[in-house]
Structure formats: structure tokens, C-alpha cells
Amino acid sequence: MKCWTWPPRRRSRRVEVALPASILSVEPSLREKTLKAGLVARVLAVYRVDAVHVFRDPDTTRGDYSLLRDLLNYVMTPPHLRKKLVPLKKTLKYAGLMPPVQTPRHLPPEDPKPGDLIDGVVEASSGGSCLVWIGSAGYAEVQGCRDVKPGSLVTVRVTGRDPSGRLTGVRDDWGSVYTGFRVYTAGTVEETVRRARRRGLKVVATSKFGKCIKGPGDVPASSKGVLLVFGGPKRGLLEYTNENLYDAVLNLVPGQGSLTVRTEEALQASLAIINLALPD
């Protein structure tokens, strides 16, 4: 198996992450909160996380809860479609400072060729066809749109150009290509865990008081995948939840050299281990 392939493949077993919105609470301003959300998004994308669940812990404020959700949704919206899909908000004032995640759907070709996949926004539909805005390449006349409404996000496979030079295409999907993570919100960590179990995932809590792992084989995962749950900067998970809630409580940063490990640091370290524990 090659260590690097492009485009990246979606994992055969899901890897999902649950984060408390309080990870933004230690940042003094909207600018710093935005930069942290951007760092988190990069890590999630690099390790091909399928979904992130934002929950409220005892230190989460209403503002940080909605802010983290909005920032992660913004950064996962393809850049060429943000003006069409993302409404203007004061909380997105510094969103342009977040680093790009650079997943395949975020890198549309400048000169589309037949066979290329591009995400676009439906502007009008009639019968089985629709007019789709795909960014700098303009509009495409797309077939297979009988069930879509204006404003919908669709994936277009380019088929060519019509006599006027406009792109033509058909509706398609990214198939087995990894294109980024979905963002979900839940009121509490307990609700997030219940949802994960209903979908057949194993649930692993991360804590410095957890079992010290000796290798990737110590990470439990079902045939469906795993949900990793992280605590916040002020309180760890075991300070407000019972360890029996989880399938395992693990220390995924054994022998840490700093007194504390920040959530975003634990996130990267843990996902690196999961990358080995759940090979494709």
C-alpha cells in the first residue's frame, strides 16, 4: 500500500470526533478563536475525519457553541461557493484567516475538462436539467436534476461544452474519495455518545487518567468505526461524566512532557495513533 495517494480515499471504517465548544473559551478575542478553529479543521482534514460533533460541556458558553459550529461549517464550504452559500455574519469577520483545508472538493480545476468533478450551487432547475454555478468557470448546464431545488449544493461531472461554450455535465458524487468532514451539534456529550452507539461505533474517551496505551492495537473499534471524545481546556471528561459511559478511557499522549496537553494538541496526537490503529 502506498503511503501517499491523491485523491485521498475515504476510510473503510469511520473516524469521528466529539469536541466541547469550550476549546474556544481560553482565547481572548474573536480573531484568536477563529485561528484555533482553523487549526482544528486542518487537523481533522489531514487525518480524514468523517464527522466532528460539537457539544456543550460545563464551561461552554452559548456564543462559543454557535461560533465553533459556524467556523467549522465555513471552512468546510468549498471556497469558490462561499459567497453563494454562507450568509454574512459578524462572527465570520476573521474567517479568511483560517488556513485552507485543501480537500479535493476545495480544489476545483481552473479549466475543467470532461471527467472532472466540481461542486456547484443550483441557480435554476427545469424538468431534468438545472443551471449550476461552479465558480470561476461560470455556469454549467447539468442533467439529472429532477429532485433538486435552487440553492442546493450538487456535484457535477463535466461532460463537455455546448455550442455556446458553456460547460455541460451530469450530477454525480465523489464516491470513495475523501472530501472532508461533516459538522454536527449535540446538547451534551451523553447525547453524542448515544447517537454514535446507535450507528455501531465504539466510543473512546481521551484522558490523562485513562489507560496508557502500548500500541495502536489497544484502541477499540467496531467494524463501523470509532468516536473519539475530548475534554476541554478547563475540565477533563471524567470531571463531569462517568467513565462507564465509554467503551474505553485511554491516555493517547503517554509520558507527556508538559503539565497539560491542550485539546488541539491531544486531537493531533490521538488521530496520529488512530491513523495506525485503523489502516485502510
92 and 77 in a common domain: yes
Backbone angles phi, psi at 121, to 5 degrees: -110, 130
For the chain, the 3-state helix, strand and coil shares in percent, each to the nearest 5, are 30, 25, 45
DSSP helix/strand/coil, 140 = strand
Count of C-beta atoms within a 10 Å radius of residue 235: 15
Supply the DSSP symbol for 177: B
Do 94 and 151 lie in one domain? The reply is no
Do 137 and 39 share a domain, yes or no? no
The candidate with the shortest Cα–Cα distance to 57, out of 231, 199, 211, is 231
Encode 79-110: b = buried (16+ Cβ within 10 Å), e = exposed: bbbeebeeeeeeebebbeebeebebbbbbbee
Residue 75 sits in a domain whose CATH number is 3.40.1280.10
Give 191's strand partners: none
Measured between alpha carbons, how far is 201 from 194 in angstroms, rounded to an integer?
10
The pLDDT tens digits for 153-207 are: 999 999 999 999 999 999 999 999 999 999 999 889 999 999 999 999 999 999 9
Question: Within this chain, do residues 42 and 94 fall inside the same structural domain, yes or no?
Answer: yes
Other Cβ atoms closer than 10 A to 203: 23
Same domain (yes/no): 96, 202: yes
Residues ≥6 apart with Cβ < 8 Å to 215: none
- Quick: pLDDT tens for 101-149: 999 999 999 899 999 999 999 999 988 899 999 999 999 999 999 889 9
Domain span including residue 131 = 109-172
What pTM does this model have? 0.94
CATH code for position 128: 2.40.50.140
- Confidence category of residue 150, pLDDT binned at 50, 70, 90: very high
Does any domain span residue 4? Answer: no
Selected residue with higher pLDDT from 244 and 1: 244
Q: Answer yes or no: is 181 within a domain.
A: no
